[in-house]
Amino acid sequence: MKGIEAETCLRFVPRTTERDFITLFKGPGCYSAVGRMGNAQPLSLGDGCVFRGTIIHELLHAVGFYHEHSRSDRDQYINVFLQNVDPRKESRPPRVRNASSTRVAQPVPPSRRARA
């Protein structure tokens, strides 16, 4: 959480009486719903998940970030050369519909990027 706070305007605070909050637990795998779900929002960090990059990845899902390759506008920015893809792994992830995708005005320099 401190890593995200150091690089963004996001702030995590200990829960007191808030109705909506993220609850971390050791579940079967690494996952979180995308965005605020209301009430206790589970974020699972199971065996093999407790690495800085994985934790950041799941926390960003919890606050509303989708995978870049699932953005509704991804086909405007990404070209996939299927001749270079193993046919067993050819399926493309679905694009997120009805979700806002914002392009960052200034690219983040490599030295400031999260290693997630």
Active site residues: 58
- The one-character DSSP state at 63 is T
Q: What are phi and psi of 76, to 5 degrees?
A: -80, -20
User: Cα(54)–Cα(57) distance, rounded to whole angstroms?
Assistant: 5
Beta strands in 1-116 (DSSP E): 21-25, 30-32, 40-45
CB atoms closer than 10 angstroms to residue 71: 19
- Residue 69 among known ligand-binding residues: no
**Residue ranges for the binding site for Zn(2+)?**
57, 61, 67
**Residue ranges for the binding site?**
57, 61, 67
